[in-house]
Structure 1
Amino acid sequence: MAAATISRRQQAGIRRPRPGDATILRAMAILERRLREPGELLASPGQVRAFLMLHLAELEHEAFVAIFVDAQNRLIEYRELFKGTLTQTSVYSREVVRAALAANAAAVIFAHNHPSGCAEPSHADEMLTQGLRQALALVDVRVNDHFIVAGNACPLSFAERGLL
């Protein structure tokens, strides 16, 4: 079990094995199964925050993810779209639109992490979000929110900050 834990953490880009990793991985699997159940309603920002923290908080590289939902905000798919370096990741609107259409999504919740530990959005983060919002609007896909996960701090919500 320990070897599998270490291997899974290393593959995910997580820093180093810690005491209790097996318990955390089991909890992640339970939460992920619950959120991945067809039709699971994502009505609470807190529910989304907890899920995103489990997946993004400990990564040493930036990752840009999407949670695709239907018209009633029920989960369709969670997907890591882009993997970057320590300080940045490249995001391509064309690929985001393609993924949203492939998932047959009515809306999307974006998230990315800041390995630096600072959850404040950069100007580039804000511009990216607006660009993606405009591109997806052309194909009738809403952007419900964009979260920034920075370590153990509460993930920042663009919607709650009035940035959408």
Structure 2
Amino acid sequence: MSQLSSSFDSSLLVRDVTGDYRPAKADEVLQAALRVLAGQMYGSEALTSPEVVRDFLRIKLGTLEHEVFALIHLDAQNRVIDYVEMFRGTVSQTSVYPREVVKESLARNSAALILVHNHPSGLAEPSRADEMLTQTLKSALALVDVRVLDHLVVAGTNILSFAERGLL
């Protein structure tokens, strides 16, 4: 094991292939943070902390320069089954296909979903199209007994909840 220089003051270190420690790069720190947050989000615990979900989404989607529409799949006890990025768009829009969302939900045996998308513009306010899409997906998913618990819009560090706004 190599000795670290006393002038080195970083506490974020990674071990390279030779076994030596070096300062972690920004993307390595973000990936490690995502693994920690995903570990808190998945598992046997029911989804009881909206803040863990928000932290995960801020890191995952908050800095993207293009829109992404994703699903958080939940079981009947609101435990996270999976996070799946379904559609990728441009800087200001993405196409979402309700049929594909329903198929994905059935394939993962989801009892409920949290819909998620980002706004690269940095403005978390939902558009009228966002509201209409949410209602369309909610109706389509209700036909196969999948509940939509929320739709979150991620804009940088800001996250808007449709449920908290009374839009569901």
- When normalised by structure 1's length, the TM-score is 0.84
Given the alignment of the two structures, is residue 28 of structure 1 paired with residue 39 of structure 2, yes or no? no
Letter in 2 for 1:21: D
Superposed counterparts of 1:143-162, under 5 Å = 143-153=148-158, 155-162=159-166
CA RMSD of aligned residues (A): 1.4
Runs of 4+ in 1 over 6 A off after TM superposition: none
> C-alpha separation between the residues in 2 aligned to 1:60 and 1:45?
24
Identity %: 59
Residue in structure 2 matched with residue 10 of structure 1 by the alignment: none
Aligned residue-pair number: 145
Letter in 2 for 1:75: V
> C-alpha separation between the residues in 2 aligned to 1:105 and 1:30?
23
Residue in structure 1 matched with residue 7 of structure 2 by the alignment: none
Displacement of 1:35 in angstroms is 2.2
Displacement of 1:47 in angstroms is 1.9
> C-alpha separation between the residues in 2 aligned to 1:82 and 1:32?
20
Displacement of 1:152 in angstroms is 1.8
Picking from 91, 110, 116, the partner of 1:111 is 116
Q: Bigger radius of gyration, 1 or 2?
A: 2
> C-alpha separation between the residues in 2 aligned to 1:52 and 1:89?
18
> C-alpha separation between the residues in 2 aligned to 1:96 and 1:121?
20
Residue in structure 1 matched with residue 97 of structure 2 by the alignment: 92
Contact preservation (8 Å) 2:37, 2:52: no
> C-alpha separation between the residues in 2 aligned to 1:57 and 1:139?
31
> C-alpha separation between the residues in 1 aligned to 2:52 and 2:41?
9
Contact preservation (8 Å) 2:65, 2:120: yes
Hey, which of these two has a bigger chunk of helix by percent? Answer: 1
Picking from 128, 131, 134, the partner of 1:129 is 134
Given the alignment of the two structures, is residue 69 of structure 1 paired with residue 77 of structure 2, yes or no? no
The answer for unaligned runs of 5 or more in structure 2 is 1-13, 15-24
The DSSP-based 3-state class of the residue aligned with 2:57 is helix
Hey, which of these two has a bigger chunk of strand by percent? Answer: 2
Displacement of 1:31 in angstroms is 1.5
Contact preservation (8 Å) 2:42, 2:80: yes
Letter in 2 for 1:20: A
> C-alpha separation between the residues in 2 aligned to 1:148 and 1:81?
15
Residue in structure 2 matched with residue 6 of structure 1 by the alignment: none
Displacement of 1:50 in angstroms is 1.1
Displacement of 1:44 in angstroms is 2.3
Displacement of 1:22 in angstroms is 2.4
The answer for unaligned runs of 5 or more in structure 1 is 2-18
